[in-house]
Amino acid sequence: IPSSTYQMLRGSMIIFSAVESVLFLGRRLHAFHWVGIATCVLGIAMVGMSNSLSSRAAHQEFGKTEEKQSSPLVVFGGAMVLLAQLFQATQVIVEEQMLKGMSVAPMLLVGYEGLWGSLAMFVCVLPVLNFVPGHDHGAQENLGDTIAMLRNSSRLQALIALYLFSCSTYNISGMQVTGALSAVHRTMLEASRTLVIWMI
């Protein structure tokens, strides 16, 4: 699916976090909140349908000569994005519970998430991807090649350092918003990135 569609489907995290805040945090939503959620649902449904229909129309117009994704794959991709947003909304709700209900410090929570994420990546995901068939010298990931590229490119090292800094700043800022306001406020701010994507 196109990146603009992906960013717009990410707005579904607002819906999931609002519903989960009612279910798990005992929050009460007013009528105007539900109207906003219904509007989000309508917008996301329109984005999903337009993407699926445009894919189908392109397939009919160009046939198999044009490398377009088939409609079932587009629908599957959209469904996977929505499922990912459900999990991310659940994560934000759990973070709010830990920050407010258990009084965990925001920086400590970011550190724990980074630690467990790194362990999962280096102990489980990367070793498995080195053996899954793919286009990177016969595997999905080639860790040795990645390390060699990092060792021999100062520009790549600088970009990785910049990426790590920006991710850390983003996660710390998001955690501070969740702690000071709520998980729903954070998801609304994250959804505003769609506006920037459309402006670009």
Query: Which residue is it, tokens 């550190």?
Result: 111
Give yes or no for residue 4 having a pLDDT over 90: no
Residue 22 neighbours by CB under 8 Å, 6+ apart: 28, 29
Mean pLDDT on 20-41: 91
- Sign for the pseudo-dihedral over CA of 148, 150, 151, 154: positive
pLDDT tens-digit series, residues 151-198? 999 999 999 999 999 999 999 999 999 999 998 889 888 887 777 767
Burial of 104 (0-12, 13-18, 19+ CB in 10 A): middle
The pTM for the full model equals 0.78
Query: Which residue is it, tokens 């489980």?
Result: 124
Task: Please give the angle made by the CA atoms of 168, 172 and 176, to the nearest 5 degrees.
Answer: 170
pLDDT tens-digit series, residues 45-91? 888 787 767 766 555 555 554 445 567 888 888 899 999 999 999 99
pLDDT tens-digit series, residues 96-113? 999 999 999 999 999 999
- Residue 150 is predicted with a pLDDT of 93
Q: 106: which 2 tokens?
A: 């925001």
